[in-house]
Amino acid sequence: MKQVLIKQGQVIVDDIPAPKVAPGNLLVRVKFSSISAGTEMGVLKSASEPLWQRALKNPNAVKSALEMAATRGLAHTRDVIQGKLSAGNPTGYSASGIVLEVGDGIENIQPGDRVACAGAQCAHHAEIICVPRNLTVPLPKDLSLPIASTVTLGAIALQGVRRAQPTLGETFAVIGLGILGQLTTQMLRANGCRIIGADLDSSRIELAKNLGLDFHLSPEENNDLGHIQRLTDGQGVDGVIITAASPSDEVISNAFNMCRKKGRVVLVGDVGLNLKREDIFPKELDFFISTSYGPGRYDPQYEEKGLDYPIGYVRWTENRNMAEYLKLISEEKINVEPLIHSSFEISQAATAYETLKKDKEKPMIVLLSYPESKEDVKPNRVIPNPSARPSESDKIHIALAGVGGFVKGMHIPNLQALSRHYQIHAVSSRTGSNASNTAKLVGAQYCTTDYQEILNDPKVDAILIGTRHNQHASMVIEALQAGKHVLVEKPLALTRNDLERIRSYYETNQQAPVLLTGFNRRFSPFSQRAKEMIENRTNPIIINYRMNAGYIPLNHWVHTDEGGGRNLGEACHIYDLFTYFTNSKVTSTQARALVPKTDHYSSRDNFVATLGFEDGSVATLTYTALGSNQFPKEQMEIFSDGKVFVLDDYKYLGIHGSKAKGITSKLTDKGHKRELEAFAKTLEKGGEWPIPLWQQLQATEIALNVEDQLS
C-alpha cells in the first residue's frame, strides 16, 4: 500500500506492507485524509533543519546520545543516529474511510461502516490504517467522506471552545484565523457569542466574516487594543481563544490585555509563553491550556486500551468531541466546505505539501484522496525490498520479528558486524513503515506486517523475536513448530502456562530447533572471566547482586500486561546469571518487597530476592528503583574459596585474594555480541546450546516464583 513519509525534510510516497488488525482496533481503508497546514508543515520544517538545530531543541536526546557514546562507543552511536535520520516518519492524524476488519472486543462497528479516524500515532496518510476504537467514530448518514476527514481539526477546535465555557451573549476574541480559528469562530457563533477575529492575513479575515465573524482586528486598518475597548463598551472581551502559531510572546500578552476583569484566555495554538505578571494579576484572569482533541488524549489506557471515561463524570471525551463535531456539520451549524482548498491523489502528496508553502493565499485545508479498491481484495502485507542484498547460501538467514529501539540499536549493529555468520533475510513489524525502513537499512529481502509470512518462508533459518514481552511465548511456540531456530529477547514467558507449553514442546520433540533466550549477561567477558575463576571451587558460593534499576513511570508499558513488570522483564537476567555461576538447580526462593509510602513507587520495583541452590550456594538480588542514576546501575560480589570478585557495571571486574588479573574496559559490554556469536556457532556446528534449556526454564521459573511472592 502507499503511505506518505517525511524523510530528511522531504515528502515521499512509499510502498509499505499493510497493517494487521489488532484487538480493540479497526482496519480502515482510507478514502480521504486531511493535511494540517500548521502541525504537519511544522514537522516538515523541523525534519529539514540541520542536526545541530534539532539537538538544541531536544536536550534530552543529546543527553541520551552522550550516554550511549560513553557506554557503547562513538561508532555505534553514530550508526544509530544515522539510522534514525535516514528512516522516514509517518505523518497525518485525520482521516475518513471504510471499515475493512474489526478486531476482537469491538461490537458496535462493522465491516463496511463509514468512519472518521484521529490520532498522530495511527490516522496516517496511508491507504490502510489500524485505529483504536476510541479514536474512531461512525459518520452521520448524510456526511461526505471528504468533509469527515477533517474530524481531528474539528475536535481540537471544539475542545478549545469547551475550555473557554462560553455563555449566550458573551463576546470572544479569536487570535489566529487559520483552520482552527475558522472552526472556533463558527463554534462560538453556534453558542450565541459575538466574535472578534484577529489575523495578519486579510484574506482569512474576509473568509471568517463570510462564515459569521462579527468584528475584526487587522493591521491593514490599524486596529489596535483600543478598538477592542470600543467594541465592548470599554469592558474588554469575556474571553480569548488563541489559535495562532507564533514564537512571539506578544500574542499571549495581547490576549490578556483584550480581556475584561475576571476574563479567561484559552491556548489552543503554539505561541511564546513568557508570561508577564502585570498582564494577568490586576484583572485576576484565568489562563487555560486546551490539550488537543479533549480528555483521553495522551492517555494510553483510553486511546490504546479502549477504556472509556463514564459520561456521568467526563461529559466530553476526545471520541465524543469527534462525534459532536461531525454532528454539527451534518446539522449545518458548521460549514467546512469553504475551508477546503483542494484535493490531491496520494501519489501527488509532495505537490499537496508544496501548495501549503505558499506565502500568499495559504490554503486552509488540503486533502489527499486514495484510489478505489475492490473491497474483496486482501491487503498486501509483504513488500519486496528493491535494494536487497544478494542472498548468500552459506550464511544463517535470520528474520527479525519486532524492530523496536533495542533491536535496531543493539541487535542489528551486532548482526551486521557478524556478517560472516548472519544475513538478515526479512523484517517483520506491527508498523509497516518501521518494517519497510528497517528492511531497507539492513538490505533484507522483504518486509512484512504478518509474522506468519516469515514462519512460512523456507529460506528463514532463525528468527530473532524482539516484540513486547507478552507476545514472546506464543511467538516462540509458533516459530519452533515451523522448524525455525529462535533467539527471543527476555523474558521467555510471563505465565506458568506459557512456560509449560515451551517445556512440553521440548519434552515431546527431541530433535526440535535451538532456543536461546536473550540472557546476554552470562556472555559478557566479565561474567565469563568470573565463571572461569570459580569453575574448580570446592565450596558453595555467595553472590550479592545489586541492580540500581532507575525509575520508570508506572504508566510505562513495562509495568502493564504487555511488559509483565520489571521482575519478570529484567530481573530474570540476574536469575539466569545466578544459575550460570552455580550451574545448579534452585531449591528455595524467598522474596520481600518494600511497601512504598506513596504511589510514586511500586513494590514490584523494589525488592530483595534470596535464592538457595542444590549445591549449597546462596544468591541475593537487591532490585530497586529508589536510587540515583548517578550511581552505577549494576554491581556484583562473588565470595568463593578465599577470593572475592567485584563486578562494576560491566566495565570492571576486580579479583581479590588471587594473583589473577581482572578486566577493565572503557565501554560497557553486557555480552550482546558474544550471545549472537554463540548462537551462530551452535547453528553452524551443532553441539551444546549457548544456554542449556533447563537453565533458561529455571531462570524464568525463578522470576515467576518471585512474582508470586511480590504479589
Model confidence pLDDT, tens digit, residues 117-143: 999 999 999 999 999 999 999 999 999
Q: What's residue 177's pLDDT?
A: 95
- Residue 90 region, left (φ>0) first, then alpha (ψ -120 to 50), else beta? beta
- At residue 523, what are phi and psi to the nearest 5 degrees? -90, -5
Evaluate whether 97 touches 32 at the Cβ level (below 8 Å).
Answer: yes
User: Is the pLDDT reported for residue 377 higher than 80?
Assistant: no
Band the pLDDT of 70: cuts 50, 70, 90: low
Region of poorest pLDDT, from 344-358, 458-472, 489-503: 344-358
The span from the CA of 164 to the CA of 264, in Å, is 7
Percent above pLDDT 90 for the chain = 86
The span from the CA of 123 to the CA of 141, in Å, is 22
Provide the 8-state DSSP code for 384.
Answer: E
Q: What's residue 18's pLDDT?
A: 97
Q: What's residue 259's pLDDT?
A: 97
Q: Which of 178, 138, 204, 696 is nearest to 472 (CA)?
A: 696
- At residue 611, what are phi and psi to the nearest 5 degrees? -115, 140
Pairing of β 286-289 and β 259-267: parallel
Integer angstrom CA distances of residue 615 from 564, 581, 611? 31, 11, 12
Band the pLDDT of 15: cuts 50, 70, 90: very high
Q: What's residue 88's pLDDT?
A: 77
Q: What's residue 61's pLDDT?
A: 65
Region of poorest pLDDT, from 188-192, 376-380, 410-414, 490-494: 376-380
Residue 294 grid coordinates: 479533549
491 cis-preceded (ω within 30 degrees of 0): yes
As a whole number, mean pLDDT of residues 623-644 equals 96
Distance between first and last Cα of the chain: 46
Q: Model confidence over 434-448: pLDDT tens digits?
A: 999 999 999 999 999
Q: From edge to edge, which strands make up the β-sheet containing 89-90?
A: 10-15, 2-7, 89-90
Task: Give the three-class secondary structure for 540.
Answer: coil
- At residue 26, what are phi and psi to the nearest 5 degrees? -125, 140
More confident call, 107 vs 62: 107
- The dihedral over CA atoms of 619, 625, 630, 634, expressed in degrees to the nearest 10, equals 20
Band the pLDDT of 85: cuts 50, 70, 90: low
Q: What's residue 79's pLDDT?
A: 64
Sign of torsion, CA 34 35 39 43?
A: positive
Q: Model confidence over 26-35: pLDDT tens digits?
A: 999 999 999 9
User: Is the pLDDT reported for residue 76 higher than 70?
Assistant: no
To 10 degrees, what angle do helices 179-190 and 202-210 make? 30
Q: Model confidence over 587-612: pLDDT tens digits?
A: 999 999 999 999 999 999 999 999 99
Domains, in order of start, for the chain: 2-150+300-369 (3.90.180.10), 159-289 (3.40.50.720), 382-518 (3.40.50.720), 521-710 (3.30.360.10)
Band the pLDDT of 356: cuts 50, 70, 90: confident
User: Is the pLDDT reported for residue 49 higher than 60?
Assistant: no
Q: Which of 212, 200, 253, 257 is nearest to 232 (CA)?
A: 257
Q: Model confidence over 237-253: pLDDT tens digits?
A: 999 999 999 999 999 99
